[in-house]
Structure 1
Amino acid sequence: MSASKALTAAPTARRADGTDPYAWLQNRDTDEVLDYLKAENAWQEQQLATEKDLRESLFQEIKGRILETDLSLPSPWGPFLYYTRTTEGDEYARHYRCPRPADDSQQVDESREELLLDPNVLANGGFFSLGTFSISPDHQRLAYSLDTSGEEVYQLYVKELASGEVRSLPFEDCDGSMTWANDSQTLFFGELDDTHRPGKLYRHQLGEEGAELVFDEPDGRFFLHCYRSSSERQLIVLLNSKTTSEAWVLDAEHPQDRFVCLAPRVEGHEYFPDHGQVDGVWSWLIRSNQDGINFALYQAAEQPSAVPTRADWQTLIAHDEAVMLEGVSLNAQALSLSLREGGLPIIEVRPQGLPAYRVQLPDAAYSLYVQDSLEFNSDKIRLRYQSLNRPAQVRQLTLATGEQQVLKETPVLGPFDADAYVSQRLWATAPDGTQVPISLVVKRELLGQATPLYLYGYGAYGESLDPWFSHARLSLLDRGVAFAIAHVRGGGELGEAWYRNGKQEHKQHTFDDFIACAEHLIAQGLTHSEQLVISGGSAGGLLIGAVLNQRPELFKAAIAEVPFVDVLNTMLNPDLPLTVTEYDEWGNPAEPEVYARIKAYAPYENVSAQAYPAMLVIAGYNDSRVQYWEAAKWVAKLRTHKTDDNLLLLKTELGAGHGGMSGRYQGLRDVALEYGFIFKVLKLA
């Protein structure tokens, strides 16, 4: 079929013989597949052609709110301030540094600044993703990695900052990670296996051609990750699956030595180590679930000639059934705990020798995390804070006193008043009686009225969808469209138990919760089914696909981005990227009861002869996490089964991966496309 001339009807994919009639769409790079995807792209553009001017208007409107030329908040490290600068018209921010002022202020000296990396030149108009950007401990070199296809396979580079000389390291199939030892000559990097899993770690000495294999993790469930400790004194290799972890450590001053295991893996035991000081004693700080699913914190004093064993771990912060310990940030003067309680993120600071306190914040529902713990000896950290109606702020926290200072707030150009929008936390009741939180934002004058509403969900891997601000979303809110997030089980918003109750044999809870949130919003008079648009991406696309099969009449339209909708066939193929490690999340369908369970909700398998809402489906041809054919097969099957004439559109980004197009302006055009679709379906344009 040709995509160059106008189509008189939606493309129809060929139905082949066999149990999966659209499996042929998995034949990557064949003419038949590419022709079909291009025809679908042409159909999508043709169907939204009447919104072309609206989309351009939305793009300019959204772009007009963003400060296109801006300087990031400089981060002090050693003798320099490091920062980025965006410039109007450029897709990517440039990376700079300048000498650190003698008064320790954060004032950039432009006359002495040094350009470290310009992604706009490196991208050359194509796809571009910067993996690692890592300055050596002596500040003489920059290690960085680039993905120019969207496949998440990286080329490694080292730049000599004094001369500007750039060397491409002669290694392939790299995961993009690069970790310096303290000699500023030794780099550790990860390699991907045939399933796109980072499972090998190599040690490379600058000036030498080859690299030494340090780790080779044979278990396909385990990912390998190497990082520097907060103290900068240790290197840590973390091997972790969805349920189990194991860490190996090495003195960063002696990178040629062997890594030593901190605690051998035990199925079900997850632990995450860091290295710092407690009351002046160099210690290992280990966040572990050995005493309960919400994790506790343990201390093991550093020993002069040996790594402490698990028997040496002493409880520093006990397990709490009501509070999830999500993370720990270490400074010489304090521990900063990232907690989750009642569905909200909380930062609790424990300064050494002083009482503990919790950071106080102005909103009822928000996003909060430690953005930068700065240098280990710093007496301050930086927090990133935002809510649905409040732009992101970087707040500096003085650890000893709790004093906060807003260092930077993301500007919104043009007319904007945060108080013109109302942010709320609502609770829906799931069929089993569970209370499910909803975050909602709407224009103040529309509060309590039935309005068009955009409902977003994810619900997997224990990830938390804390409320976030969006410049683009204002284009919805200002046109009378409310926005809500359904914090369904499978996510991590209410702790580890919330996650576990939405995975494996409990996965139906995720879908039930989302449906309950939609029904609650309708029952409260905040919207109607004819005004309700739903959206989700990746595993959230699986959520969208499942609820469309189960309750299609509840929604007017749906957007599914890189949707994991062919979950059963994918999980049956262990040779595909990341499948084996996903068994802990979804189960292994080689087991009959797991097969039946996944088949019962898998979006692709459960497409049936019924009416579906209008749908826009987005895929990335180079996506290594959710293959492009999942969306293509799903749309092909929907076309032959659905009984309505509602819009069904598929857009495949032929030069992008899991995250879509890479440039900031390209990303805004993608948002404008989605909003144009919404306004067309809801007849708001």
Structure 2
Amino acid sequence: MTSPTTCASAPVARKADGQDPYVWLQERDSTEVLDYLKAENAYTDAQLGDQQALREALFEEIKARIQETDLSLPSPWGPYLYYTRTTAGDEYARHYRCARPADGSHQADEPSEQLLLDPNVLANGGFLSLGSFSISPDHRRLAYSLDTSGDEIYQLFVKELDSGEVHSLPFEDCDGSMTWANDSQTLFFATLDDTHRPWKLHRHRLGKANAEEVFCEPDGRFFLQCARSSSERQLLLQLGSKTTSEAWVLDADQPTQAFTCLAPRVEGHEYDVDHGLLDGQWTWFIRSNQDGINFALYQAPATGIPARADWQPLVPHSDTVMLDGVTLNAKAITLSLREGGLPVIEVRPQSLPSYRVQLPDAAYSLYVQDSLEFDSDRIRLRYQSLNRPSQVRQLQLDNGQQEVLKQTPVLGKFDADAYVSQRLWATAADGTQVPISLVVRRECLGQPTPVYLYGYGAYGASLDPWFSHARLSLLDRGVAFAIAHVRGGGELGEAWYRAGKQEHKHNTFGDFIACAEHLIDKGLTRAGQLVISGGSAGGLLIGAVLNQRPELFRAAIAEVPFVDVLNTMLDPELPLTVTEYDEWGNPQEPQVYERIKAYAPYENVQAQAYPATLVIAGYNDSRVQYWEAAKWVARLREHKTDDNLLLLKTELGAGHGGMSGRYQGLRDVALEYGFVFKVLDLAD
């Protein structure tokens, strides 16, 4: 039970006997646990009750910048253009197609328009996440999957596009993936094991009541994923842990045959495969780290399954440039690189000189959004920066000519030049230079201003600067926004990632603290004005630095935070634990146990003053269980010596990504921003 339960006082979780006094909060669906979570929600509502008008104003303000009724840029495929429409008042975009114009334009032809899927009807006011959305090669069917609770377990459906008839496939525990063979009759899908890991691949023939298991991955560290190759001629089965991978291939015209292994797994060897053309010949393209941690690209004839010894280097390994990915078209190979902490696109047209895509900003986000059809001579790039809204740029592959096809509109008064985007460098304790991306209103330069500092730092993920309509509500109230590109992320390549994992995890926390200190030392902000935020593994980062240096920060926001890392990693029955050993280590090993225990946020809560903290959890979250946040908040309440706000909000109908629907997402942002303004005492 909790005491007291009134909204005026913070709930106090009871302490059980044993080493972990709050382990009882892991008793999912028990009345006591639900009552406690509801009491925390009621307390949060009461503490933020005076902000109701502000939150509503923020919601309307953010919504007013967004073009609620809009059409996505149509993508050509076969005889159709495929696209989505958003309509004011609807939570989800509708999916459409229309006849492809003969003149090659990208204008939707409304008279021939066909509604393919309306998630608004399917959601019926509840949670909805659309997993797969896959059109069959003959364009007659749509395979799609739905998660209606947030637990990332999907139901599979096939819709006959001529008649509109929908078939629900009778399979359980699906991960949501659906991959067509070229006969447009055979679907491959994956199912989850007891730890929520995709581990079995199944083959289903339309019209049949059953599915055949075609592959099983018993190693709990490996995830299974199936996809179509760029050429559309092969099916690719990729198996991967955090450190090792293996690929199997199958002719997409022969779906009843067995997959064949391209190269048997070897511990530490990571590779992925695609199929395309090189000098007019069908070729396997293999991105591999066999010659260095930043990966190289190899090629082998697709006349059979080549031995690894037959792979021929195409793009050699570089000590300074990371090969992040490869996009194949019939007329060019496009390389996604990382250099100097930024993404770079390099195009290698067939029989023409290679070149790099030129862009206007010093710090930005850039990636290949759409390779279009394999035979296309163009691709589409998505480009944005902290002060520049997202653009879809069409790139002519042979000569590098760019055309902005669509820029995300910002309604109302908006001038990108009113905001200054900067790249700063902090010095970590070991001398390492850590990049920071920052954006602030121009008139706020040269004086200390409140800063919202965001961080993640895990799994090699890169947090490239991105534009946000909602963030303007921070910037226009004099709050700067910054991203700490700490080690453990992938911004500066594979070495940057490895320097922030396993036995080097302390670098992630030290880098973030160094970034905060840099912002203060340079007079950009003060400790009393600094708000920090992170989610999931970024929530672990927030929890760790709060324990280590709480005086540096005025407030913190932790979303679905991975803060009970030691207990989670000690329980191999929990979803994803075994697969995470390569990232954090296996605490069954004594030295790893001590290492994780030394930084785990839950274990290291101390009797000290903590900044105001807002914690968000998802009750149906299968990646970071709700109780991690709940236990952490309970222990913070027990030990902290201050009177600062400590709030826990558990979304009882959502999972790892929070509530579904675009308007609900805006309300969640309004809640967080309202909390920031309350703590910083910023008048609206």
1:544-583 equivalence runs, <5 A: 544-583=542-581
Q: Deviations over 1:540-572 (max 9, x none)?
A: 000000000000000000000000000000000
What do the CA deviations read for 1:223-254 (whole angstroms, capped 9, x no partner)? Answer: 00000000000000000000000000000000
1:273 aligns with 273
Q: 1:437 is matched with which residue: 435, 440, 463?
A: 435
Residue 7 of structure 1 and its aligned partner are, at CA, apart by: 2.2
Could you say which residue in structure 1 is the equivalent of 2:610? Answer: 612
Residues 3 and 35, structure 1, Cα contact 8 Å, conserved in 2 = no
* Partner SS for 2:176: strand
List aligned pairs for 1:194-343, cutoff 5 A: 194-303=194-303, 306-343=304-341
Deviation for aligned residue 1:390: 0.2
Q: What one-letter code is carried by the residue in structure 2 that aligns with 1:650?
A: L
In structure 1, the residue matched to 2:481 is 483
Q: How far apart are the structure 2 equivalents of 1:51 and 1:502? A: 39
Aligned to 1:156: 156
Q: Which residue of 2 aligns with 1:392?
A: 390
Query: How is 1:343-358 mapped onto 2 (pairs within 5 angstroms)?
Result: 343-358=341-356
Deviations 1:131-190 (A, max 9, x none): 000000000000000000000000000000000000000000000000000000000000
Corresponding residue number in structure 1 for 2:660: 662
TM-score of the superposition, structure 2-length normalised?
A: 0.99
For 2:219 and 2:447, locate their aligned partners in 1 and report how far apart those are by CA, in whole Å.
54
Letter in 1 for 2:511: D
Q: Distance in 2 between matches of 1:471 and 1:3?
A: 41
Paired residue type of 1:265: R
1:25 aligns with 2:39: no
Counterparts of 1:630-641 in structure 2, within 5 Å, are 630-641=628-639
Q: How far is 1:6 from its partner?
A: 4.8
- Please state whether the residue corresponding to 1:669 is helix, strand or coil: helix
Q: Which residue of 1 aligns with 2:142?
A: 142
Q: CA deviation at 1:104?
A: 1.2
**Structure 2 SS opposite 1:520:** helix
- For 1:85-124, what aligned pairs fall within 5 Å after superposition? 85-124=85-124
| Contact 2:4-2:10 at 8 Å conserved across structures | no
Decide whether the 8 Å contact of 1:250 with 1:257 is kept in 2.
yes
SS at match of 1:677: helix
CA pair 165-3 structure 1, distance change in 2 beyond 3 A: farther
Relative to structure 1, is the Cα distance of residues 249 and 534 closer, same or farther in structure 2, using a 3 angstrom cutoff? same
My pick for the range that moved more, 99-108 or 464-473, is 99-108
Q: 1:359-438 alignment to 2 at 5 Å?
A: 359-438=357-436
CA displacement, residues 447-490 of structure 1 (integer Å, 9 cap, x when unaligned): 12100000000000000000000000000000000000000000
* Aligned residue number for residue 46 of structure 1: 46
For the Cα contact (< 8 Å) 1:345–1:369, is it kept in 2? Answer: yes
CA distance in 2, matches of 1:311, 1:3: 67
**Secondary structure of residue in 2 paired with 1:282:** strand
Residue 4 of structure 1 and its aligned partner are, at CA, apart by 13
In terms of mean alpha carbon deviation, does 444-453 or 213-222 score higher?
444-453
1:516 alignment partner in structure 2: 514
How far residue 257 of structure 1 moved from its aligned partner, in angstroms, is 0.6
Shift of residue 2 of structure 1?
9.0
2:547 alignment partner AA: N
For 1:548 and 1:448, locate their aligned partners in 2 and report how far apart those are by CA, in whole Å. 28
Tell me the distance in 1 between the aligned counterparts of 2:302 and 2:7: 70
The 3-state SS of whatever aligns with 2:608 is: coil
In structure 2, the residue matched to 1:15 is 15
Supply the distance in 2 between the matched residues of 1:439 and 1:220 (Cα, whole angstroms).
37
Match of 1:652 among 628, 650, 653: 650
Preserved CA contact (<8 Å) 2:143 2:156: yes
Q: In 2, distance between residues paired with 1:99 and 1:307?
A: 39
User: Is 1:448 aligned to 2:439, yes or no?
Assistant: no
Is the CA contact 2:297–2:316 (under 8 Å) kept in the aligned structure 1? Answer: yes
CA contact (8 A) 1:3 1:38 kept: no
CA deviations 1:4-62 (Å, max 9, x no partner) are 98523100001000000000000000000000000000000000011110000000000
**Distance in 1 of aligned mates of 2:637 and 2:340:** 43
Does the aligned pair in 1 maintain the 2:2–2:12 contact within 8 Å?
no
Which stretch shifts more, 175-184 or 306-315? 306-315
SS at match of 1:350: strand
1:279 and 1:470 mapped to 2: Cα distance? Answer: 42
1:538 has 2:536 as partner: yes
Q: What percent identity do the matched residue pairs reach? A: 81
The residue that corresponds to 1:677 in the other structure is 675
Cα offsets for 1:338-388 (capped at 9, x unmatched): 000000000000001110000000000000000000000000000000000
The residue matched to 1:54 in structure 2 has which SS? helix
- Partner Cα separation in structure 1 for residue 295 and residue 173 of structure 2: 35
Report deviation, 1:312. Answer: 1.5
SS in 2 for 1:445: helix
The residue type equivalent to 2:152 in the other structure is E
- Normalization by structure 1: what TM-score? 0.99
Change (3 A) 1:250 1:278: same
Give the aligned partner of residue 458 of structure 2: 460
Tell me the alpha carbon deviations over residues 69-124 of structure 1, each in whole angstroms, 9 at most, x when there is no partner: 00000000000000000000000000000000111111111111000000000000
Q: How big is the shift at 1:309?
A: 1.6
Structure 1 residue ranges without an equivalent (≥5): none
Q: Give 3-state SS (helix, strand or coil) of 2:177's partner.
A: strand
Tell whether the 8 Å contact from 1:3 to 1:39 is kept in structure 2 after alignment: no
**Is the 8 Å Cα contact of residues 6 and 46 (structure 1) preserved in structure 2?**
no
| Cα separation, partners in 2 of 1:466 and 1:3, compared to 1, 3 Å | farther
Contact in 1 for aligned 2:150/2:621 (Cα 8 Å): yes
Contact 1:489–1:501 (Cα < 8 Å) also in 2: yes
Q: Distance in 2 between matches of 1:100 and 1:509?
A: 52
2 CA distance for matches of 1:2 and 1:573? Answer: 26
Q: What is the CA–CA distance in structure 2 between the aligned matches of 1:122 and 1:315, rounded to whole Å?
A: 49
Q: Which secondary structure does the structure 2 equivalent of 1:176 belong to?
A: coil
The aligned runs of 1:580-591 (5 Å cut-off) are 580-591=578-589
Counterpart of 2:470 in structure 1 is 472
Shift of 1:308: 1.4
For residue 3 of structure 1, report the CA deviation from its aligned partner. Answer: 11
Q: CA deviation at 1:311?
A: 1.6
Aligned partners of 1:452, 1:522: CA distance in 2, in Å?
10
Moved beyond 2 Å, runs of 4+:
1-8
Aligned twin of 2:170: 170
* 1:290-343 alpha-carbon deviations (Å, 9 max, x no partner): 00000000000111xx31121220000000000000000000000000000000
Letter in 1 for 2:593: Y
8 Å contact 1:455–1:533 — kept in the other structure?
yes
What amino acid is the match of 1:286? I
AA aligned opposite 1:211: A
For residue 247 of structure 1, give the secondary structure of its aligned residue in structure 2.
strand
Is the Cα–Cα contact under 8 Å of residues 127 and 654 in structure 2 kept in the other structure?
yes
| Structural RMSD (CA) | 0.9
**1:656–1:482: structure 2 CA closer, same or farther, 3 Å change rule?**
same
